[in-house]
Amino acid sequence: MSPMSDLHPDELLREVAALPHLPGVYRYFDADGQLLYVGKAISLKKRVSSYFQKNHGGTRIGHMVSKIVRMETTVVRSEAEALLLENNLIKTLNPKYNILFRDDKSYPYLKMSGVRSTSAHVELPGPTNFTRVSYYRGAVEKKHRYFGPYPSAWAVKEAILLMQKVFRLRTCEDPVFSNRTRPCLLYQIKRCSAPCVGHISVQDYASDVANAEKFLRGDAQDVMRTLEQRMMAHAEKLEFEQAAELRNQVAALSSVLHQQSMDNVEDRDVDILAVKVQGGKACVNLAMVRGGRHLGDRPYFPVHVDAAIGFAEDDVSGAPLDTAVEVEILEAFLAQHYLNVPMPGTLILSERVSKSLLLALTEQTGVKVNAVHQPREQRRAWLDMALTNAGLQLARLLAEEGSQRARTRALAEALDLPLENLDDLCIECFDISHTAGEATQASCVVFQNHAMQNAQYRRYNIEGITPGDDYAAMRQVLSRRYAKLADVLRESRLSGEVPAGTGRMPDLVLVDGGKGQVAMAREVFEALELDLSLIVGVEKGEGRKVGLEELVFADGRDKVYLGADSAALMLVAQIRDEAHRFAITGMRAQRAKVRLGGGKLEEIPGVGPKRRAKLLQRFGGVRGVGLASAEDIATVDGISRELAEEIYRALH
């Protein structure tokens, strides 16, 4: 063993020496039990031993290795299985030294709901007989058809507009459909065929739906030929009105195909992935082609890239450093991203990735993955565009981060906060929100590492106070937020030891309010024996105009006006506004829950679209239904006394 081994417990070194020459996954932990790193290996013994036998010096990997006190390993059957397990653990455990891609949201889909009936003999055709096109995000269900995923909500809405223009499919909800007595505006502007009032038969509408599905799957030319054949057939029968309708549909589809210059009929479903690394940051740009149509792209910015760059510097094997880092980032994205996202058959990549990764993806998804590294013709154009977008998005990120760092420094200088480690500067901000005292909620948002940390946001339901008493609400939320931490810190001062896993107080506590709220915060901090200099109130300026805010201090310092153009004030306003937004959204959700008891009409057995529509019409909305008595609900046509009582119980 090298001098590095002198830093580690003997038990750990014995575990390393006893590892088998088998594929597996290893996990490193520090003295506080924090997960440092998750890795995979073809041979656990060979790979793990290399960390402790080599002298890594002052590199990032050396810094990580010096912290290791405990290790866990899992033996698997193959390298592919190790790779999948590794990235599952990375996604769920968030190790400090692994490249990590965080999913902001699930991907949106275009949803076609309803039964696609082709029967000409349907009694009382309702909304379920006429497929509806809609935007959807969430888990898919077998009873509906989904197309996508799409890279953005905008791309889905563009596709829906296309379905309206070319195929004139409906987008209205079922209750609206069921209660129409005349066509809506969409029919007048030729965006819907008005199935709600019988202007199109079930059979003809089903034919339009089938053509729309073919188009979305990439069979645009087949759709064009089918429409042209139907048009000529109507013309031969002298049915010129129907032929004219199909002619307009063919013209609309032809126009769309002409505009879609990026189409490639040979590639139906393709993902194009380009990676760029610059300034210690990285961007993976994902562009999507579905049904032969280029749908747009989405950038991803991994965290912990600096650690990965340090590992590449220490562990590069013959390849140029930049290439090694980009390959590692791209492989991490592929392994993590397709854990929960449908895999297309073809990937076009800016870097060559390992065959074992492609094999693992094939085993995981059941789709044979074809990866193209140096594409030609149309694929080359797609990849060049993805590389350009990756570079632009990375430049934007670096510019924004530079500006945000400048704001953090300006605030630290203005308030005499420590400047040694600005990346670790932590600010927590509190706000209170309610409507005339109803559903009072307090929000706490966190700013750290020059960005808002959404995962650390918290909401607090405020109870047991006089409705509308913002001071009492502030006292309650601050006490709940810091009481336990204050007790731990008080005990540690007596014992001289801080327990492992103990949190930390923020460097600054912002409260949205002036002298009154600051005085309340001061009382709480005095009772908890916390530092009063942490508290800063954001007081509205004259006329409550933005940019005229003043900072109020709990420790007796005079008010400070930073100036409307101050970078420090911009940061304070950004954090304060985020706390306000987070409090308002929570308050509205809580208010709706209080008023309706958390129930939803569509979840009540026996309340279908027609009865729901009648209830909403009678009482003027969901809130009105929630306020109605069982006797009032029973007066609605089609609702029995028993069902009325069931609805009342569900909403209360």
Give CA–CA dist 604/231, Å, rounded: 46
What average pLDDT does the segment 581-606 reach? 66
Sort residue 95 into left (φ over 0), alpha (ψ -120 to 50) or beta.
Answer: beta
Cα dihedral sign for 36, 39, 44, 50? negative
Q: What is the model's pLDDT at position 118?
A: 54
Q: What is the model's pLDDT at position 263?
A: 47
Q: How confident is the model at residue 262 (pLDDT cuts 50, 70, 90)?
A: very low
What average pLDDT does the segment 119-128 reach? 60
Give CA separation, 159 vs 128, 188, 267, in Å: 22, 20, 18
What average pLDDT does the segment 523-546 reach? 85
Which DSSP state fits 180?
A: -
Q: Does position 445 have pLDDT exceeding 90, yes or no?
A: yes
Domains annotated for the chain, with CATH where assigned, are: 3-93 (3.40.1440.10), 110-259 (no CATH), 270-395 (3.30.420), 422-593 (3.30.420.340), 597-651 (1.10.150.20)
**Residue 145 tokens, joined:** 């058809």
What average pLDDT does the segment 53-72 reach? 77
Q: How confident is the model at residue 57 (pLDDT cuts 50, 70, 90)?
A: low
Q: How confident is the model at residue 317 (pLDDT cuts 50, 70, 90)?
A: very low
Q: How confident is the model at residue 314 (pLDDT cuts 50, 70, 90)?
A: very low
- What is the number of alpha carbons within 13 Å of residue 324 lying toward its C-beta? 14
Q: What is the model's pLDDT at position 58?
A: 59
Percent of the chain with pLDDT over 90: 17
- Of 459 and 622, the structure prediction assigns the larger pLDDT to 459
Least confident of 192-196, 316-320, 626-630: 316-320
For 305-309, which contacts have Cβ atoms below 8 Å and span 24 or more sequence positions? 305/99, 305/277, 305/280, 305/281, 305/329, 306/60, 306/280, 307/60, 307/64, 307/96, 307/97, 307/98, 307/99, 308/98, 308/99, 308/332, 309/60, 309/277, 309/280
What average pLDDT does the segment 494-521 reach? 81
Q: Does position 392 have pLDDT exceeding 80, yes or no?
A: yes
pLDDT in tens, 201-258: 888 899 889 888 888 887 777 777 777 777 787 777 787 777 777 777 777 666 655 5
Give CA–CA dist 235/229, Å, rounded: 10
Q: Does position 482 have pLDDT exceeding 80, yes or no?
A: yes
| Residue 510, number of CB atoms within 10 A of its CB | 24
pLDDT in tens, 146-180: 888 888 888 888 888 888 888 889 998 888 888 88
Alpha-carbon dihedral angle through residues 244, 247, 252, 256, given to the nearest 10 degrees = 180
Q: Does pTM surpass 0.85?
A: no
Give the list of residues 6+ apart from residue 471 with CB closer than 8 angstroms, or none.
516, 517, 520
Q: How confident is the model at residue 307 (pLDDT cuts 50, 70, 90)?
A: low
Q: How confident is the model at residue 351 (pLDDT cuts 50, 70, 90)?
A: very high
- Of 14 and 419, the structure prediction assigns the larger pLDDT to 14
